[in-house]
Amino acid sequence: MPRDIRVMHFADTHFGVELYGRLDPDTGLNTRLQDFKRSLTSAIESALERGIDLAVFAGDAYKSRDPRQTDQREFANCIRLLTQQNIPVVMLIGNHDMPAIRGRANAIEIYRTLGVTGVQIVSRPEMFLVETPAGKVRIVGIPYLLKGFSVAKEEYQGKTLEETRLLLEEKYSENIAHFAKQIRDANDDIPTILLGHFWANGAKLSSWQEGYFSRDEAQVAVASLRDPAFDYVALGHIHKHQDLNKNGQPHIVYSGSPDKIDFGEKDEEKGYVYLNLRKGGADYQFVRTPETRPLLDIDVDADCEEPTEKIVSAIQCHSLRNAIVKLSYRIGADRQSLVREREIKDALAPAFMTVSIQRRIQRDSATRSLDFTEGKTPRENLELYIEKTPNYQVRKERLLEMAEPLFAELAEESAE
């Protein structure tokens, strides 16, 4: 009886992100690129130790669709760890890997162009077989459907954003159903992985991604992914690891990203998925990436008699070694002079990097009433508020203009 096929499922490496990084004088590389390479290398070495037969990458190798040569080189060095051990690799392009203009090469096209042995690139919906040391695996690849390309087609002309989103969702479902039927018609014992890069309905976004994901983006119905024609569904695009069919088969799994991109992901575990695949289903486990660089967001209520001591104590509760740190503290306006900034900076010195120290001034109601009083007109109070709010100052005239109807209405009510 053939053994299970051991598979590594990973995604969303995003080489090229330099947020909170700096130049390493010894290597000339950005430290965040080094972090991401270290995390991916660790994941691949862990998978190789487990004796994998196949690696599937579910998209977004790079931050940009036009990655720098250095980012390409470092990512290729990681993939070579697999190919030099004769592990076949299937790489799906994600939305960050896609060109903005039709006809241009995608960010990982070079692997196909060079004919790199053991690497297969999926840039359009397709189905194919991959030979592994433990037997054949069928791959159904469903890349991200880029709205910009789809809208150019006649069937999308004149559609609203909502109508376009619904058409794209229908296209995903049609592609998945089409391949599922072909698998059933084949009626063989070859296990199948659906490899996709998209937003599945009900998936929980990484808190960082919540800030930029558009609700106009197409979402794939989980019901279509639960088709028993598939033995495992390997997804990318969402950075948070999760299983959308935890108690059934096939498992519908986002591997998550191997490293943290932003403070919005600071509390999320990062890594890859290792699975044992067979016809009829798969068992898997999430394997955490060891020692990713910590992102520490330290928030202190320092409105007390000894604010500096309280802030320093809060900092000392954390291990700062190799960490990227953000510090914010709240303090009353009358106690600002008690804060000794130099001692706080000295306490943060062991950190790899401190990206910000934010002071939040708390004003009590008595203090505020000295500024905003009933003795002033509504317009005067609004002007004062705008002057005390830097983000509003550049729009002062426009804000006052928009408030004029309210001022007039208040004046009429006062006159009655």
For residue 145, name the pLDDT band (cuts at 50, 70, 90). confident
Does 212 or 13 have the greater pLDDT score? 13
Predicted model pTM? 0.82
CB 224 within 8 A of CB 174: no
Q: Which amino acid is at 375?
A: G
Distance CA 273, CA 288 (A): 9
CB 68 within 8 A of CB 16: yes
pLDDT in tens, 72-99: 999 999 999 999 999 999 999 988 777 6
> If you average pLDDT over residues 302-320, what whole number do you get?
95
For residue 379, name the pLDDT band (cuts at 50, 70, 90). confident
For residue 413, name the pLDDT band (cuts at 50, 70, 90). low
- 242-243/252-254 β-pairing: antiparallel
Q: What is the pLDDT of residue 207?
A: 74
Place of tokens 């060095």: 77
pLDDT surpassing 60 at residue 230? yes
SS3 category, 295? strand
Q: What is the pLDDT of residue 213?
A: 75
| Mean pLDDT, the chain, whole residue set | 87
Place of tokens 């690799």: 89
Length of the chain: 416
Q: What is the pLDDT of residue 165?
A: 86
Query: Which residues lie closer than 8 Å to 3 by C-beta, 6 or more apart?
Result: 134
SS3 category, 56? strand
Distance CA 413, CA 70 (A): 67
Q: How far from chain centre, in Å, is Cα 174?
A: 27
Place of tokens 């659906």: 194
pLDDT in tens, 333-375: 888 999 999 999 999 999 999 999 999 887 655 445 555 565 6
Q: What is the pLDDT of residue 105?
A: 61
The span from the first CA to the last CA of the chain, in angstroms, equals: 92
pLDDT in tens, 244-295: 999 999 999 999 999 998 898 988 999 999 999 999 999 999 999 987 899 9
CB count in 10 Å sphere of residue 143:
25
Distance CA 222, CA 244 (A): 8
Give the angle 94-98-103 at the CA atoms, nearest 5°.
145
Does 156 or 274 have the greater pLDDT score? 274
Output the six-digit token pair for 222: 């989980």
Q: In what order do the strands lie in the sheet with 281-288?
A: 119-122, 89-92, 54-57, 5-10, 271-278, 281-288
CB 220 within 8 A of CB 198: yes
For residue 404, name the pLDDT band (cuts at 50, 70, 90). confident
Query: To the nearest whole percent, how much of the chain has pLDDT over 70?
Result: 86
pLDDT in tens, 16-44: 999 899 999 999 999 999 999 999 999 99
Distance CA 91, CA 111 (A): 9
CATH architecture of 5-288: 4-Layer Sandwich (3.60)
Which one-letter DSSP state was computed for residue 231? S
User: Which of 114, 112, 115 minimizes the C-alpha distance to 126?
Assistant: 112
Distance CA 101, CA 244 (A): 33
How is the chain split into domains, by residue range?
Answer: 5-288, 294-362, 364-416
Output the six-digit token pair for 15: 């080489």
